[in-house]
Amino acid sequence: MSHEILLTQLLYGSAGLLFFLLGVWSFISHEPLWRKLIALNIMGAGVFHVLVAVAYRGLDAPPDPVPHALVLTGIVVAVSATALALAFGRRLDREDGERTPDVRGVDDREDGTHA
């Protein structure tokens, strides 16, 4: 392996590790469930980044197909799991009787006042 390949893998792997650690910190420090869900997605992106770095073999050689297949499958699973978690969270908010926040910042109070 050449020095350039190792440097590239080190940079991509380090970026993936930083993404993962940022996600762990965000998961621990934030209380709302939707922020924890975003943190889990950031952690997953870090893992995918590291797997792509492991698969890299240089410009002349093709990448290792197994980590790439894992990354593609993981992306599909992550998107599906995120959609399912958001749907469950929305249903839990409705069942608990909590009002979901309005995106525009307008409150749906009876007197018409804003939040």
pLDDT in tens, 71-97: 999 999 999 999 999 999 888 888 776
Cα 5 from Cα 57, distance rounded (Å): 7
Instruction: Supply 33's token pair.
Output: 């469930």
pLDDT value of residue 100: 53
Q: What is the pLDDT of residues 26-43, one digit of tens each?
A: 999 998 888 999 999 999
Taking the whole predicted model, whether its pTM rises above 0.85 is answered as no
The CA dihedral of 39, 9, 56, 43, to the nearest 10 degrees, is -10
Cα 102 from Cα 113, distance rounded (Å): 13
